[in-house]
């Protein structure tokens, strides 16, 4: 299954992606995670991306497109993949289509997680992540068993640098201007699966599975 997951920052893309990739046994490709990894490792890409990410702006298309083109041609993507956080601009979506055509494959669905802007800031600002395994928690909505510690490996949870209220507001604006047009782009291709993201995590996942298996 070849999937993309769309939605504003804090909608729950990463959370749902973790469940989806377990169920369908496909790799989870999060461009945000890959970019943060590059920043941590101080690679050339990481150095180029950092200032944009800190501000909540988009990293230039050519950098992100090249990274995804390389990633989806790896062996583990043969049976499918889930792209999370990509595409984020029409140029990225067009480049993805071109790359898939070149590879002789196509997307099966574009999952769109819909959440009203009022909920997004609280979700993103309360997000806590594990540096070791990538697990995502929320201080109120999805707390770990022991406060501040990952359930899986007990690493101390951290807050992302870009999860401050001010940066989240900017990221929502960027989403509205540059990414939300992709909803119509995928609707026109007959691939859009709209899901109400303002429900409990399990209920959102149930709706995604029901939609994918329709
Ligand atoms: P995204 O990848 O879209 O930015 P995340 O999956 O990281 O979003 O979720 C953002 C925050 O909201 C996290 O702290 C997560 O635990 C929490 N969250 C995710 N889905 C829900 C939900 N359905 N209800 C409440 N909180 C949620
Ligand atoms: P995310 O982890 O998806 O919330 O992404 C965090 C940040 O990484 C974004 O605010 C952007 O700065 C950058 N980023 C991630 N994916 C992309 C993309 N497809 N295009 C441009 N920038 C991206
Ligand atoms: Zn962990």
Output the average pLDDT for the chain. 97
pLDDT of residue 150: 98
Residues 162-174 pLDDT 10s: 999 999 999 999 9
Query: Which residue of 83, 121, 123 sits with most ligand 1 atoms within 8 Å of its CB, as the best mutation to test the pocket?
Result: 123
Q: Please name the residue whose Cα sits nearest to atom 2 of ligand 2.
A: 32
Please tell me the distance from the alpha carbon of residue 73 to that of residue 80, in angstroms, as a whole number. 10
Is 125 close to ligand 1, i.e. is its CB under 6 Å away? Answer: no
Cα of 142 from ligand 2 centre, angstroms: 23
Check residue 59 and report its DSSP letter: P
For range 109-126, the mean pLDDT: 96
CA 93-98-99 angle, 5° bins: 95
Dihedral sign for Cα atoms in the order 185, 187, 189, 195: positive
Residue 89 tokens, joined: 């601009």
Contacts of 101 (CB under 8 A, 6+ apart): none
């Amino acid at each position: 299954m070849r999937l993309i997951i769309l939605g504003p920052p804090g909608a729950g893309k990463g959370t749902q992606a973790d469940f989806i990739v377990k169920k369908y046994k496909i790799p989870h490709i999060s461009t945000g995670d890959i970019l943060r990894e590059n920043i941590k490792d101080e690679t050339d890409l990481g150095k180029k991306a950092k200032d944009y990410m800190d501000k909540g702006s988009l990293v230039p298309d050519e950098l992100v497109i090249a990274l995804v083109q390389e990633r989806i041609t790896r062996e583990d993507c043969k049976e499918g993949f889930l792209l999370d956080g990509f595409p984020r601009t029409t140029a990225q979506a067009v480049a993805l289509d071109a790359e898939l055509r070149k590879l002789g494959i196509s997307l099966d669905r574009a999952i769109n997680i819909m959440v009203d802007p009022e909920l997004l800031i609280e979700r993103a600002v309360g997000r806590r992540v594990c540096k070791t395994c990538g697990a995502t928690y929320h201080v109120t909505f999805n707390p770990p068993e022991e406060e501040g510690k990952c359930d899986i490996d007990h690493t101390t949870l951290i807050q992302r640098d870009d999860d401050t209220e001010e940066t989240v507001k900017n990221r929502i604006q960027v989403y509205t201007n540059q990414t939300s047009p992709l909803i119509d782009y995928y609707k026109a291709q007959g691939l859009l699966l709209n899901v109400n993201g303002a429900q409990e995590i399990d209920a959102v996942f149930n709706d995604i599975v029901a939609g994918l298996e329709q």
